[in-house]
Amino acid sequence: MFFWGTSKELKNFLEDKNIREALKRASLRFAEGRLKALSQLGDFSEVRKRLREIKEAALSEADNIWDTVGEHIRERGGFFIEAKDAEDARKKILRICEENDVDFLIKGKSITSEEIMLNSFLEENGIEVIETDLGERILQLKREKPSHLIVPAIHHTKEEVAKLFSSYFGEPIPADPYIITKKVREDLRQKFITAKAGFTGINVVSCEPVAFYLMTNEGNGRLCATLPEIQIILAGWEKVVKSLEEALFLLKILPKNSVGLDFSSYVSIFTSPFLWKDGRKLFVILLDNGRRKAFSDKLLTHALRCIRCGACMNVCPVYQVLSGQGFSHVYMGGIGVAWTAITSGFDKAAEIAELCSGCGSCNNVCPVEIPISEMVSEIKARSKKKDALKEIALSIVSNKKTFSSLAEILRLFGTFHGESFNVWAKKNKLLNSQGDINFYAGCLMEQFYPETAVRAYLLLKYLGLEIALFEEVCCGLPQIVHGKKGKFFELALINLERYERRPTIFICDSCYSMFMYYKKMFPNHQIFPETISSFLLRKGFSVSLKENIKVMVHLPCHLRLWGEEKSVFEFLERLQNIEIVRDFTEAHCCGGAGLYRYKYPEVSDAIFDIKAEAIRRHSPDVIVTTCPSCYTQIEDQLRKRGLDDVKVCHLVDFLFEYGAWELTDLISPQDTRKL
């Protein structure tokens, strides 16, 4: 197969035990807290719908809103300044500092300031910058970039932080968050009092009334904004809503969806300069930096809805092993790919996009319904940079003859055995276009796991169904994931013509997912994709197992993407003599992701670690899954880790190998002789 390998820099992140441990602790804590906090809100889908509508309505009027904001600020004695890009923003902020004799700036947390690389620019021009958010202060002292939108130092353990501040203060500091925070607060207090200028980002800006909303947990943002003589706010063009009620609703959801907090500790609202002293000044910098152009882009416009909650990072399997240090440019994770495209161009974004496994977990937790994984695929397609080995691999899977030839070569080397499902079907004269249902095996099943495909066919025959069977072409998933839209549409049109009007049963969840994507993209075509588990459940099929079996389930990412995971468990629960072990890792990506395991093998291995821990913890007899790519990954990973005693089965194979029946129970004697 094809091996790309993992860069030395990424390997360093993977091998950093502190990063892995810190991310593990935080991810679990945030996930548990998020579910608890959201349970108070009722139907999360309705929350998402409302937030999306709020943001889309405001973005459609953003320029008018900013005109109103600018007029209001000027009328109140403030200064409203527009910046077209990062360089323009940096220069204008520097000019503010120079014209007001500022040589020392205190700063609240602002990812937008990271976007324009403000700190280093000001320091190069003789202006000292002190970060006052604890996480940002840690990163400033370590000379690192933020690793998370909400928790910038998430990749560091409390033990590491204690060691850092022990060195900084020149005295032992215990690994106690309370003591660390108290010590840093004492150190920063004098800086708050003596600084002439304070700088913050902003969470949201409302139009009616004109107000700026800043949410923090430490209160440092409020001090930066009110104590110094000069207040500077940097706001991205997209940070708008129409009303106070909408702003407060957004701020209510953000901490819940992000880290599971009911509320942040501090919400500050600014409407004009805070005039505790005569001559106090307020400067508002409105940053474009690609945002208006993105609003006109049919795909990137979705990213402008982002409220910077960071929930997508908390569930991202790649982020969980690389952190925002490895999986980012400035903005992190899958949504960071889109924001990098907006602010730094598609080629830079594509470099990060390649690290995405495409699992789609981010889509499910986004509070404003951003289709993050689709955006990542589109960014790959638009990038001019091409990966030669990936191009070869995609050309192979796209071409039926080439892919079949590769499979035959692998059979010669003993990698796979037996004839392909297509050859078997042709030999038995089963290819036909008539029937009650369509059966779609998928490329991997057809070529590398043909026995599973044959068993599935026999099972459907046993249910008394006439099966329409075609010589298959690829579903197009590899092409759309890796940005080959032209070839994808070519394959999609073939499949749409063949598989219309009847239910199509899938034994590969990746292929099922692609046909569901067809339904979304081509609503005029009548296609009815269904997973094998859903179909068997609907038909009332059940069987007793030969013996008591302890089973764990691995839910493929593409199954979860369409909310079909319930059918797997509901079907398995119908079986007799089965013990099903439930664990939160059942929905965690296995790290296979098609070509991903070959391009980034070390990252793939690291992603599987969390699942390996669960398998050791529960000691199942069998792991059941419904995706051939996941099957291959899990089987290889178990062998690498000395867990060979755990059997991996596709759902269909599980029924055949552990069900209390014989092959002759499934088909008539005439069919037995024929097949």
| Confidence category of residue 3, pLDDT binned at 50, 70, 90 | very low
User: In this predicted model, what pLDDT tens digit does every residue of 439-484 receive, in sequence order?
Assistant: 999 999 998 899 999 999 999 999 999 999 999 999 998 888 777 7
Q: What percent of the chain has pLDDT over 70?
A: 92
Contact 579, 551 (CB under 8 A): yes
| Residue 151, phi then psi, degrees to nearest 5 | -120, 80
Parallel/antiparallel/unpaired status of strands 211-216 and 266-270 = antiparallel
**Reported pTM:** 0.88
Tokens 């409407």 correspond to 271
Domain boundaries, the chain: 59-291, 542-658
What are the tens digits of pLDDT across the range 603-632?
999 999 999 999 999 999 999 999 999 999
Percent of the chain, pLDDT > 90?
72
- 232-253, pLDDT tens digit by residue? 999 999 999 999 999 999 999 9
Q: Give me 467's structure tokens.
A: 């099966």
Main-chain phi, psi angles of 278, to 5 degrees: -60, 135
Q: 166, 173 in Cβ contact below 8 A?
A: yes
> And the tokens for 279?
């001559």
**How far is the C-alpha of 189 from the C-alpha of 373, rounded, in Å?**
43
Round to whole Å and give the CA distance between 50 and 224.
32
**Tens-digit pLDDT profile for residues 96-118:** 999 999 999 999 999 999 999 99
For residues 549 and 467, give the distance between their C-alpha atoms in angstroms, rounded to a whole number. Answer: 32
Say if CB 200 and CB 110 are below 8 A apart.
Answer: yes
The token pair at 353 is 């996009």
Count H helices and E strands in the chain, helices first.
35, 18
pLDDT digits (tens, 9 = 90+) for 500-538: 999 999 999 999 999 999 998 899 999 999 999 999 999
**Residue 423 confidence (pLDDT) above 70:** yes
Q: How far apart are CA 513 and CA 529, in angstroms?
A: 9
Average pLDDT over residues 72-100: 97
Residue 19, pLDDT score: 85
Place of tokens 């669960």: 614
Alpha-carbon gap, residue 601 to 393, rounded angstroms: 16
Give me the pLDDT at residue 651, please. Answer: 97
Whole-number mean pLDDT of the chain? 90
Whole-number Å distance between alpha carbons of 179 and 185: 10
Tell me, what's the pLDDT at 11? 85
- Please, which pLDDT band fits residue 494 given cuts at 50, 70 and 90? very high
Residue 325 CA to residue 319 CA, distance in Å, equals 9
Reported as a single tens digit per residue, the pLDDT across 638-663 is 999 999 899 999 999 999 999 987 65
CB contact at 8 A, 158 and 177: yes
Domain range 542-658, its CATH number among 3.90.320, 1.10.287, 3.30.230, 3.40.50: 3.40.50
Average of per-residue pLDDT across 378-395: 71
User: Exposure of 119 by Cβ count < 10 A (0-12 exposed, 13-18 middle, 19+ buried)?
Assistant: buried
Q: What is the CATH number that goes with domain 59-291? A: 3.40.50.10420
pLDDT band at 274 (very low <50, low <70, confident <90, very high): confident
